[in-house]
Amino acid sequence: MDQSTASATGRDADPTEAGHHPQAGLLKLTLGAIGIVFGDIGTSPLYAFRETFAGHHTLTVDRLHVFGVLSLIFWSMMIVVTLKYITILMRADNRGEGGSLALLALITRKLGDSRSTAGLVLLGVFACALFYGDSMITPAISVLSAVEGLTVVNASFQPFVIPIAIAILIGLFSIQRFGTSAVGTLFGPVVSIYFLTLAVLGVIGISHDPSVILALNPYHAFGFFQADMWRAFLALGSVVLAVTGAEALYADMGHFGRTPIKVGWIYLVLPALMLNYLGQGALLIAQPSAITSPFFMLAPEWFRLPLVILATFATIIASQAVISGAFSVTQQAMQLGFIPRLKITHTSVSAVGQIYIPIINWVLMAMVIVLVLMFRSSSNLASAYGIAVTGAMFIDTCLLTVVLFRLWHWNKFIAGGLLALFFLVDGAYFAANLLKVPDGGWFPLLIGGIAFTLLTTWGTGRRIVAERMRAPDDIETFIRSAASSIGRVPGTAVFLSAAADGVPHALRHNIKHNKVLHERNVIVTVQFERVPFVDEAAHVAIIDLGNKFSRIILRYGFMQKTDVPESLQQAEGCGIGLELDDVSFFLGRQTIIPTKLPGMALWRERLFALMVRSAETPMEFLKLPSARVIELGSQVEI
């Protein structure tokens, strides 16, 4: 059985129903959010300010440019992170969950499937595809930029930077299978110390030139563009590195809730980041040669080695958050029908969201190591960083347009003004990053293109297979005919079916070849809804078909664990009982035959057939007991 197409339950998402959020005090949740959510954006000071001046498009280190860049960084944080994501987008939650896919699911569930939503689905899928490029670059640039701090301590460490970075990354990916719960409690305190350190170092830097605080005035950003518009535009490609990770705040909302993330951002993370950037600016005005590594040179010489160690821990935590995010996005895409079944291991008995997907983990590790060996420095990697992030941000703004006008019905002038601002900022950042394509920006676009092709091929292929296999038979008529002409054997048979109507192929083939019916027969359909979590009352639906036949529809949210035997034990009145030793599970397995029939291009059909063969079996995905499963195969031409 394949995953059925996600279907809406007809129930509106109510934010108050998001009962899966951890039930803890605000302080504890805020501390956890600081440790998990802000790692990516928190490590940006290691390289963002430096790259704006010393990257591929250099700037003169003088007061005009330093003030201009600081002003751009501050207002980017205020507009993109504080206003767009923290204030507005986080209100667009899908039963407490955030992120591009959750937002897409919310929109399509509210508006229904139509031509107008088809383009939005492609946008959401492409945002998901771009995320994979980002999840490869973030660990590489973060860890490498921290380890490069060793060369500030002592130049003789230069030959060891890449080996040390690769060793750290291999260790990081190797421990993923154990889950993050064991070290998760350390994340919040470590990152909090890191942010406090950023703030203290920034204050020390500002004390040498307090006038740098005037850079917060937007006048200096406009003055930068007025003095040299082209160089200011090019600088946007590096300034945006200061807000990378903003989308992660929205995507990780389901783990902590909106309030803890908002509190952590406003009261600790934003002030610490800006103080550090201002301190770096004051340092560069007084000592332009410090542009080689302003983050580490901001610290006293005796503190630089401890700072390298602290920054390395912070980048490891930031990388951990991105890797965990890749697992979560993959699970969401899988249950929404865009990715084949993959093996998922739950690493925590209490936290459903803590999962491990082996193939994603090892592919990410391989690509991260390739990136480190290919680009060899965080400065070179910065040329590849930004396109995936700005592309995802731009898509979020497109989806937000639908939310404001179609779902929330905001005043057109207010919504239009805000959206114009967001599109201007996101569009400028995306356009500036497109100039990085020849220097490395092609990499995330390549990864995004490959991922988008795989996602859409799987989604389209599943739809075609469902159409080819749809049987016109009426289930009631089929049951009456079979019950009167076929002998019965003791026990219960469960037939897995992708469709919630018609006759399952496994049932049809069982009668055709084995010519028997079990004493009790249950047709089970698994549906993944466009909500993160399905209420317990709506989880199981039972229909009595007569003649000891029942149909059970099991509904799961795209963030929930799929366990069919466990769900069947919760079902009452279906006659199946609770003893799995009395149950036989019948699965239909399809062999895909690519043809020139109307559907997809032949190469995509072959790709889809390969993906079907590589997918985890329904038995493993649905947690069926292997000793009780019988598979009946058929060939499907597409």
Q: What is the pLDDT of residue 253?
A: 77
Question: Which ranges of 177-303 would DSSP assign to H, the alpha helix?
Answer: 181-207, 219-227, 229-239, 246-251, 253-256, 258-264, 270-286, 294-297
**How far is CA 105 from its chain centroid?**
14
Q: How confident is the model at residue 11 (pLDDT cuts 50, 70, 90)?
A: very low
Closest among 529, 537, 526 to 558, alpha carbons compared: 529
Q: What is the pLDDT of residue 180?
A: 57
- Average pLDDT of span 39-61: 87
Amino acid 48 reads: A
* 575 pLDDT higher than 60: no
Residues 546, 483: Cα–Cα separation, whole Å? 10
Q: What is the DSSP string of 501-564?
A: SS--HHHHHHHHHH-EEEEEEEEEEEEEESSS---HHHHEEEEEEETTEEEEEEEEETTS---H
Amino acid 160 reads: F
Closest among 448, 457, 455, 456 to 130, alpha carbons compared: 448
* 272 pLDDT higher than 90: yes
Q: How confident is the model at residue 589 (pLDDT cuts 50, 70, 90)?
A: confident
Q: What is the pLDDT of residue 546?
A: 82
Q: Which one is predicted more confidently, 215 or 505? A: 215
Residues 47, 294: Cα–Cα separation, whole Å? 9
Whether the CA torsion 126, 128, 131, 135 is positive or negative: it is negative
- Beta 345-346 vs 487-496: how paired, if at all? unpaired
Residues 95, 20: Cα–Cα separation, whole Å? 9
Q: What are phi and psi of 537, to 5 degrees?
A: -65, -30
Amino acid 553 reads: I
Q: CA torsion angle for 41, 108, 450, 461 (degrees, to 10)?
A: 150
Amino acid 51 reads: E
- Average pLDDT of span 557-570: 80
Closest among 524, 531, 574, 588 to 553, alpha carbons compared: 524
Q: What is the pLDDT of residue 162?
A: 94
* 577 pLDDT higher than 70: no
* 144 pLDDT higher than 60: yes
Q: Looking at residue 237, what DSSP letter applies?
A: H
Residues 403-449: tens digit of each pLDDT: 999 889 899 999 999 999 999 999 999 999 998 888 888 988 899 89
Number of H helices, E strands in the chain: 28, 8
Residues 387, 442: Cα–Cα separation, whole Å? 9
Q: What is the DSSP string of 14-82?
A: -GGG-TTS----HHHHHHHHHHHTSHHHHTGGGTHHHHHHHSSS----SHHHHHHHHHHHHHHIIIIII
Q: How confident is the model at residue 114 (pLDDT cuts 50, 70, 90)?
A: low
Q: Looking at residue 489, what DSSP letter applies?
A: E
- Average pLDDT of span 331-360: 76
Q: Which one is predicted more confidently, 66 or 546? A: 66
- The SS3 of residue 357 is coil
**Percentage of the chain lying above the pLDDT 70 cut:** 90
Contacts of residue 321, defined as CB under 8 A and 6 or more positions apart, other chains included, come to 36, 37, 39, 40, 248, 252
3-state SS string for 301-328: HHHHHHHHHHHHHHHHHHHHHHHHHHHH
List beta partners, residue 555: 527
3-state SS string for 377-399: CHHHHHCCCCHHHHHHHHHHHHH
Q: Which one is predicted more confidently, 364 or 545? A: 364
Q: List domains and CATH numbers for the chain.
A: 15-435 (1.20.1740), 472-637 (3.40.50)
* 3 pLDDT higher than 70: no
Contacts of residue 520, defined as CB under 8 A and 6 or more positions apart, other chains included, come to 491, 492, 493, 548, 550, 575, 576
- Average pLDDT of span 570-594: 72
For the record, the structure tokens of 317 come out as 């935590």
Angle subtended at Cα 569 by Cα 565 and Cα 570, rounded to the nearest 5 degrees: 120
Q: Which of 59-68, 339-348, 545-554 has the lowest mean pLDDT?
A: 339-348
Whether the CA torsion 18, 23, 26, 27 is positive or negative: it is negative
Q: How confident is the model at residue 471 (pLDDT cuts 50, 70, 90)?
A: low
Provide the 10 A C-beta neighbour count for residue 539.
Answer: 18
* 221 pLDDT higher than 50: yes
Residues 454, 388: Cα–Cα separation, whole Å? 17
Residues 119, 114: Cα–Cα separation, whole Å? 9
* 559 pLDDT higher than 80: no
For the record, the structure tokens of 28 come out as 């504890």
Q: Which of 77-86, 218-227, 326-335 has the lowest mean pLDDT?
A: 326-335
Residues 422, 493: Cα–Cα separation, whole Å? 56
Residues 152-165: tens digit of each pLDDT: 888 888 999 999 99
